[in-house]
Amino acid sequence: MSFVQTLKQARLRNDSLVCVGLDPEPARFPAHLRGAPDAIFAFCRDIVDATADLVCAFKPQIAHFAAQRAEGDLERLITHIHATHPGIPVILDAKRGDIGSTAQHYASEAFERYGADAVTLNPYLGRDSVQPFLDRADKGVILLCHTSNPGAADLQELPVRGTDGGELPLYQHIAMSIARDWNANGNCALVVGATWPEQLAQVRALVGDMPILVPGVGAQGGDVEAVIRNGATRGGEGLIVSSSRAILYAGAGEDFAAAARKAALALRDDINRHLHARP
Amino acid sequence: MSFVQTLKQARLRNDSLVCVGLDPEPARFPAHLRGAPDAIFAFCRDIVDATADLVCAFKPQIAHFAAQRAEGDLERLITHIHATHPGIPVILDAKRGDIGSTAQHYASEAFERYGADAVTLNPYLGRDSVQPFLDRADKGVILLCHTSNPGAADLQELPVRGTDGGELPLYQHIAMSIARDWNANGNCALVVGATWPEQLAQVRALVGDMPILVPGVGAQGGDVEAVIRNGATRGGEGLIVSSSRAILYAGAGEDFAAAARKAALALRDDINRHLHARP
């Protein structure tokens, strides 16, 4: 089953657009876990097990593992998710981007080594740089479009002139190009930050039902109501609403996983309330 | 000593603008190394030891290690370069790009975990995404500008309108922004592919003496004469001419390191001949 199909089924089964971002920060772990040799794995596993029936996807962020020499924990974690919670897709948040044979190696890293179902990529190097990923019809290819940070506007909102002579912001040009030219296998998705709700509406208008991964609710302050209003499809789909810190560190004691569950449930219900309140 | 200073001294000492890219492909290793548990380290170490007096930098490409679960080999390799060939800077070719705390983790990965002297980054997420790297005045921050692949033109050559109303290709806008606004610590450099010589001339005209990392000579077909003519500063500096496969796999037998040395020497001498032939 393809990533897009798995994602849809997980959403239906769990009635959820929530994606829990797995960004382990050992300094913020509960005291009883700190210093354990596999603390990173154990922390993430407990979060996963406490929230797996409330999400449509998990999204481990690879830098948080790499900075701690914890690639082994990341491998174990993804294996654990697939074995214990089958049907919940794993998005490897890596934002890779390189060319030729190096792009092939990054695809091997994401899909063979880690067994991810989808990966985030940076489109700046152009379509051929992404081709080894696009060719994997079963895997999701989630391309940065408009990121959640304030500096996103530096380049992503520059007015560019298209081949038809019309002018539009770079992120819209990219969204259109991907929807029109890069998505032959129907496995593309985009990243648009919750902190940029107007831009989310613009992207939704350009890309039909393509899934959009939306980080930036929670700790970064994105507004859930605006995300749903501007980003959901008519059918109430098309979004992967990702929250990391607000869920992972909802509690600081031995009950951190229960606190994370509560936070994930609250986000799911908040999203669903806004979905159902739409005209 | 900062990356830019180390680079300059290595160039002077070895009279070389050559950077050897370390892109290990186990399937192309000589037979006597294949299957050894530390073959990736051993191969790269032998290349390094055979060429260290001919280069201004080494550039390991991280995907080639990550796809093989060989992060440990990469750590050992960089430690070996610094211990055995002090004064030769190591550029970690990672093309990372992310925001906020995640950018901090990628900076930790590059500079603390691996001990790199410089790292390649993707500028698409904007200046704040690169700030944790820019703040490290001792480290080099090498930003993608115009990459060597054919698809580079898809986005990098789009005409964008600047705040002054003038129009210029995106890669030139990026080169100007970095030279003018991102380089307060004087630690920025750019990537421009050897396969795009006209674009290299445009970038050189925009960024003064800023170092430019030029991949794409050798296997990708970039022309050394055009790179020197269009990319070198008046003083004959400002370039880091990177070659990987044409050096690493110059020989296929037990004498692979000697063959690599011969190829690196030929590239160095070719570059220097063109430098000295300039008017």
Q: pLDDT (tens digit, 9 = 90+) per residue, A5-14?
A: 999 999 999 9
Q: Which CATH architecture has domain A3-276?
A: Alpha-Beta Barrel (3.20)
Q: Using pLDDT thresholds of 50, 70 and 90, give the confidence band for residue B259.
A: very high
How many C-beta atoms lie closer than 10 Å to residue A139's C-beta? 23
Q: What is the largest CA-CA distance in chain B?
A: 61
**What mean pLDDT is predicted for residues A17-41?**
95
| Contacts with B112 from chain A: Cβ below 8 Å | 67
How many angstroms separate the CA atoms of A108 and A112, rounded? 5
Quote the pLDDT of residue A110.
98
pLDDT at A218: 79
Q: Cα separation of A43 and A32, whole Å?
A: 10
Contact at CB, A161 and B156, closer than 8 angstroms: no
Distance CA A245, CA A252 (A): 12
Q: How far is B183 from chain A (nearest CA, A)?
A: 15
Report the mean per-residue pLDDT for chain B. Answer: 96
Nearest residue on chain B to A148, judged by CA atoms? B99
Q: Which of B221, B190, B43 is nearest to B118 (CA)?
A: B190
When CB atoms are compared, the residue of B99, B101, B105 closest to A147 is B99
Using a CB-CB cut-off of 8 Å, the residues of chain A touching B156 are 124-126
Q: What pLDDT does residue A219 have?
A: 76
Is the pLDDT confidence value at B228 over 90? yes
- Share the mean pLDDT of chain A: 96
Using a CB-CB cut-off of 8 Å, the residues of chain A touching B67 are 105-106, 108-109, 112-113
User: So which residues of B are the catalytic ones?
Assistant: 95
| Residue A163 pLDDT > 80 | no
The pLDDT value given to residue B147? 98
Task: Tell me the pLDDT tens digit for each residue of A77-118.
Answer: 999 999 999 999 999 999 999 999 999 999 999 999 999 999
Task: Tell me what pLDDT residue B221 has.
Answer: 83
Residue of B nearest to A67 (CA): B109
Q: Are A81 and B40 in contact (CB under 8 A)?
A: no
* Inter-chain CB proximity B64 and A102 less than 8 Å: yes
pLDDT at site A266: 98
Residue A144 forms beta bridges with which residues?
A: A191
Strand partners, A189: A142
CA distance A277 to chain B (A): 33
Q: Which residues in chain A have Cβ-Cβ distances shorter than 8 Å to B153?
A: 126
Residues of chain B neighbouring A98 (CB-CB closer than 8 A): 61, 63, 95
Q: Could you tell me the pLDDT band of residue A68, with boundaries at 50, 70 and 90? A: very high
Distance from CA of B252 to the nearest CA of A (A): 19
B200-224 per-position pLDDT tens digit: 999 999 999 999 999 999 778 889 9
**Across B50-72, average pLDDT:** 98
**Lowest mean per-residue pLDDT among A216-220, B16-20, B70-74:** A216-220
Do the beta carbons of residue B29 and residue B68 sit within 8 Å? Answer: no
Is A144 at the interface with chain B, CB within 8 A? yes
A-contacting residues in B 178-197 (Cβ below 8 Å): none
Please write the tens of the pLDDT for every residue from B94-103: 999 999 999 9
A-chain residues within 8 Å CB-CB of B149? 99-100, 125-126, 128-129
Q: Give pLDDT, residue A277.
A: 92
Q: What b/e sequence results for A42-77 when a residue is b if at least 16 CB atoms lie within 10 Å of its CB, and e otherwise?
A: bbbbbbbebbbebbbbbbbbbbbbbbbebbebbbbb
Beta bridge partners of A86: none
CB-CB: which of B61, B113, B173 is closest to A67?
Answer: B113
| List of residues 6+ apart from B40 with CB closer than 8 A | B24, B26, B65, B68, B70, B73
pLDDT of residue B222: 86
> What CA–CA distance (Å, rounded) separates B98 from B81?
28
Considering only CB atoms, which chain A residues are within 8 Å of B100? 149, 220
Q: Do A122 and B97 touch (CB under 8 A)?
A: yes
- Across the interface, whether the CB atoms of A129 and B149 are under 8 A apart is answered yes
Residue A97: its pLDDT value, please?
97
pLDDT surpassing 90 at residue B267: yes
Closest in A23, A61, A124 to B124, CB measured:
A124
Please check whether residue B23 touches A, CB under 8 A.
Answer: yes
* Interface mutation target, options B71, B95, B156, chain A, most CBs of A under 10 Å: B95
Report the candidate in B193, B155, B192 with the shortest Cα–Cα distance to residue B175. Answer: B192
3-state secondary structure labels for all residues of chain B: CCHHHHHHHHHHHHCCCEEEEECCCHHHCCCCCCCCCCHHHHHHHHHHHHHHHHCCEEEEEHHHHHCCCCHHHHHHHHHHHHHHCCCCCEEEEEEECCCHHHHHHHHHHHHHHCCCCEEEECHHHCHHHHHHHHCCCCCEEEEEEECCCHHHHHHHCCEEECCCCCEEEHHHHHHHHHHHHHCCCCCEEEEECCCCHHHHHHHHHHHCCCCEEECCEHHHCECHHHHHHHHCCCCCCCEEEEECHHHHCCCCCCCHHHHHHHHHHHHHHHHHHHHHCCC
Identify the pLDDT of residue B167.
93
pLDDT digits (tens, 9 = 90+) for B123-135: 999 999 999 999 9
At A98 the pLDDT is: 97
Q: Residue B166 has what pLDDT?
A: 86
User: To the nearest whole percent, how much of chain A has pLDDT over 70?
Assistant: 100
Q: What's the mean pLDDT in B69-85?
A: 98
Per the structure block, which two tokens stand in for A30?
């509960």
3-state secondary structure chain A: CCHHHHHHHHHHHHCCCEEEEECCCHHHCCCCCCCCCCHHHHHHHHHHHHHHHHCCEEEEEHHHHHCCCCHHHHHHHHHHHHHHCCCCCEEEEEEECCCHHHHHHHHHHHHHHCCCCEEEECHHHCHHHHHHHHCCCCCEEEEEEECCCHHHHHHHCCEEECCCCCEEEHHHHHHHHHHHHHCCCCCEEEEECCCCHHHHHHHHHHHCCCCEEECCEHHHCECHHHHHHHHCCCCCCCEEEEECHHHHCCCCCCCHHHHHHHHHHHHHHHHHHHHHCCC
The answer, for A76 touching chain B at a CB cutoff of 8 Å, is: no
Q: Do B156 and A128 touch (CB under 8 A)?
A: no
How is chain B split into domains, by residue range?
Answer: 3-276
How close, in Å, is residue B154 to chain A by CA atoms? 5
> CB distance A129–B151 less than 8 Å?
yes
Above 90 in pLDDT, residue B71?
Answer: yes
Is the CB of residue B253 less than 8 Å away from at least one CB of chain A?
A: no
Q: Is the pLDDT of residue B91 over 80?
A: yes
State the pLDDT confidence band at B273, using cuts at 50, 70 and 90. very high
Question: pLDDT tier at A162 (50, 70, 90 boundaries)?
Answer: confident
A163 by Cβ neighbours in 10 Å (0-12 / 13-18 / 19+) ranks as exposed
A75-85 pLDDT per residue, tens: 999 999 999 99
Question: Do residues A53 and A10 lie in contact, with contact meaning Cβ atoms separated by under 8 Å?
Answer: no
- CB-facing half-sphere around the CA of A197: CA atoms within 13 A: 12
CB contact under 8 A, A128 and B147: no
| Confidence grade of residue A156 (pLDDT, cut at 50, 70, 90) | very high
pLDDT at residue B279 in the model: 81
Instruction: With cut-offs at 50, 70 and 90, classify the pLDDT of residue B113.
Output: very high
Task: Please give the interface size between A and B, counted as residue pairs whose CB atoms are below 8 Å apart.
Answer: 171
